[in-house]
Amino acid sequence: MLPRSVEKVIEEFGRLPGIGPKTAARMAYHYIRSSNKDASKLADALNEMEGSIVFCEKCFNVSERNVCDICSSKLRSYDKICVVEEPLDVVAFEKAGIFEGVYFVLGGVISPADGIGAEELRFPQLKKRVEELVKLAETEIEVILATNPSLEGEATASYAQDLMKELTDAGKIKISRLAMGLPTGADLEYADRLTLKRAMEGRG
């Protein structure tokens, strides 16, 4: 009933998490209806993003350069590294403006239900980065495991903790977790500034 090209757009939108076929159809229809070339604007933006995005080789956040603005900044503290699941978690912390250290983006959480094991995440790179910071620093490094306060987030943090046990035992690093001011099951990305601030202050 709908032209094949429209069906195709609906199909592509339908791949997005949380977007069902009805919403996908509404979205496609928005672009059919709009008169000012919105569809090609989005297409251009997507192509540009896909063409220009790299992952920072230090923290693996999305970036436009090989080393991101945060990891190349002289204003950040390199004795604190905040380990998060996703790039949007970095955005949340940076928007709150409550952390002056550096980040590390794991790329997800261990989630057997979704078939995501530890080997899918950037644990070797995390270890390497922490060792790099340990070499740079004169004092103990703080590794803040800021995964979401969910079952998967806890499992992931616990895996990271085991991974760095040697460094902890040697007194090179101190591992901390965000305070449980965050309600269990919440999504870090949606937390308000104060909640994030409390969680950061209460870490230990």
**Which residues would be at the binding site for its own copies (CB under 8 A)?**
1-6, 8-9, 11-13, 15-19, 22-23, 25-33, 37-53, 62-64, 69-70, 86-88, 90-91, 94-95, 107, 189-190
Show the CA angle centred on residue 143, arms to residues 139 and 148, nearest 5°: 165
Determine the Cα–Cα distance for residues 40 and 117; give it in Å rounded to an integer. 38
Residue closer to its own copies by CB (options 88, 118) is 88
Q: Minimum Å distance from CB 73 to its own copies? A: 12
Per-residue 3-state assignment (H helix, E strand, C coil) for 68-118: CCCCCCCCCCCCEEEEECCHHHHHHHHHHCCCCCEEEECCCCCEHHHCECH
Task: Look at the block and give the residue holding tokens 């509404």.
Answer: 26
H helix or E strand, kind and range, residue 173: strand 173-177
Residue closer to its own copies by CB (options 13, 177) is 13
Q: Minimum Å distance from CB 200 to its own copies? A: 17
Residue closer to its own copies by CB (options 45, 136) is 45
Q: Minimum Å distance from CB 69 to its own copies? A: 8
Residue closer to its own copies by CB (options 5, 139) is 5
